[in-house]
Amino acid sequence: MSEKPLPLDGNSAAGLLSELFAVEITGASITCDGCHHAAPIGAARLYGGRMGAVFRCAHCENVVVRLVRTPEGYWLEMKGARSLFVQARGD
C-alpha cells in the first residue's frame, strides 16, 4: 500500500532558505500562478528532505517553488509562482 507523505509547512525550510536569501523569507508573500492565492511562504505545504524542497500552494496544491542544494550550489525554480514579495526592512 502506497501512502502519500504528509507535508510539513514552509516554515520547516527556514534553515535551507536562509542559506540562499539574506532576509527572513518565510514571511515573504508568494502568489500562486495556478489559483492566484497569495500567502506567506511559511504557509506553503513543504515536501522534501536534506537535498531540497518542493513548496506547494496551501490553497490549491500547485507546485510554486522547487529548491535543490547540490555540492556546487543551489537551483531555485519558481515557475509556479506569479510573484514573490519581500517587505523592506525599516532602518
Q: Which domain holds residue 74?
A: 8-84
Is 89 part of any domain? Answer: no
Residue 91 in any domain: the answer is no
| Domain total of the chain | 1
Neighbours of 26 (CB within 10 A): 19
Please check the confidence at residue 9 and state whether its pLDDT lies above 90.
no
pTM metric for this prediction = 0.76
- The overall average pLDDT reported for the chain is 88
Q: What is the pLDDT of residues 48-86, one digit of tens each?
A: 877 789 999 999 999 999 999 889 998 999 999 999 998
In this structure, is residue 46 part of a structural domain? yes
Share of the chain above pLDDT 70, in %: 96
Asked whether residue 90 is assigned to any structural domain, the reply reads no
Q: Distance between CA atoms of 62 and 69, rounded to whole angstroms? A: 21
Whether 1 is covered by a domain: the verdict is: no
For residue 25, pLDDT beyond 80: yes
Residue 2 lies in a domain: no
CB atoms near residue 63 (< 10 Å): 20
